[in-house]
Amino acid sequence: MHLAIEHLPARGRPEQLLLLLHGWAQEAQALAPLADAVRQAFPQAAVLVPESATPADGGRRGRMWYSIEGLQQSLDTWPARVAEQLVPLQAWVLAQQQRLGVGPQATCLAGFSQGAILSLELVARHDGIAGRVLAFGGRFVVPPEQPPQHTTLHFFHGSDDNVFPVDGLKQTLDHLAARQGDATIDIAHGVGHQLHPALVDRALFRLRNHIPARTWRAALGAVPGRGQPADQD
């Protein structure tokens, strides 16, 4: 991968790090509106958008993180295709954190479609490598039996998404909630498989306003007799 977009604070060191991953048959510029929105909302954040070096299947314009050729006919190959990309992605995330001096809890992974899948699967395997994930139009390959406890998962989906239907995502949220995972979902009605401005607005709202469940647990744990708040919004 190579770094296609990098926004750094005008002054001072970055206080947050947001890493945005594009979808299949896209280029980094497809995430420019999201990168610009985040940059304006969080001027002290570093916002990076890498681009895969692999051309999309079938001569399609754009790039891909992994091939989807024949995937519908053999879904059992999906986990291996994704897992192959997680080692270099983990190394890249750690390198950017070290380069910019931003720790894991101040790091946010975000992605659309394939980029969302990679972000989710990375934190499922390396809990706490980032404090949050913004998953637009994406899902887990297989929902983890033990959800991340140090990463908050925010899902943003179109009600008319025909690539990853929203009903399956709602089941995933129930699965995560039953296992004390910290996850939220925002659904844009009448929206398909796309990075819609309404979903970007909700992502900014979640970044500004959602208090992670682990923060609540730490605070309430110091007060005898207090219960834990719900983990799912």
Catalytic residues: 113, 161, 193
SS3 content of the chain, % helix, strand, coil (to 5): 40, 20, 40
3-state secondary structure of 89: helix
164: which residues sit within 8 A by CB, 6+ positions away?
A: 113, 137, 138, 139, 157, 193
233: which residues sit within 8 A by CB, 6+ positions away?
A: 184, 185, 210
Phi, psi angles (nearest 5°) of residue 24: -65, 140
